[in-house]
């Protein structure tokens, strides 16, 4: 029974990837929609990354909000300026670590 689900997901994935190749010349989107779709992949990756690391910080309450807020702010600026996903993730993680360490030293 599981092989049916695996086969269905595989065929669906194949069709999902094949459709733009077949309809690419016939399908045109407005520039605004193209811009949104261009950044949708990075947004999805960032959302998956954030949800996977939530709860791994050592702080609680306002300290957690401060470190996550600082890291998010820096990551948003870098993404807005067109940096790669690797740069956004690495710098955001570094900022999070530095703020956590600074708060631990002060508190």
Model-level pTM?
0.52
CA distances (Å), origin 46, targets 43, 69, 71: 5, 15, 12
pLDDT at position 15 is: 85
pLDDT of residue 22: 83
Mean pLDDT by 10 residues, the chain (107 residues): 85 84 77 79 72 62 78 86 85 87 83
Are 68 and 97 in contact by the 8 Å Cβ rule? The answer is no
Whose CA is closest to 99, among 73, 76, 68?
68
Q: How confident is the model at residue 57, as a pLDDT?
A: 57
């Amino acid at each position: 029974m599981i092989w049916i689900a695996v086969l269905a997901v595989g065929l669906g994935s194949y069709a999902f990837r094949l459709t733009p190749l077949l309809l690419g010349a016939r399908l045109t989107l407005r520039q605004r929609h193209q811009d949104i779709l261009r950044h949708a992949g990075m947004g999805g990756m960032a959302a998956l990354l954030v949800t996977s690391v939530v709860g791994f910080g050592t702080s609680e309450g306002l300290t957690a909000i401060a470190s996550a807020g600082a890291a998010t702010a820096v990551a948003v600026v870098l993404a807005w300026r067109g940096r790669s996903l690797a740069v956004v993730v690495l710098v955001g993680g570094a900022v999070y670590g530095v703020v956590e360490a600074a708060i631990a030293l002060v508190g």
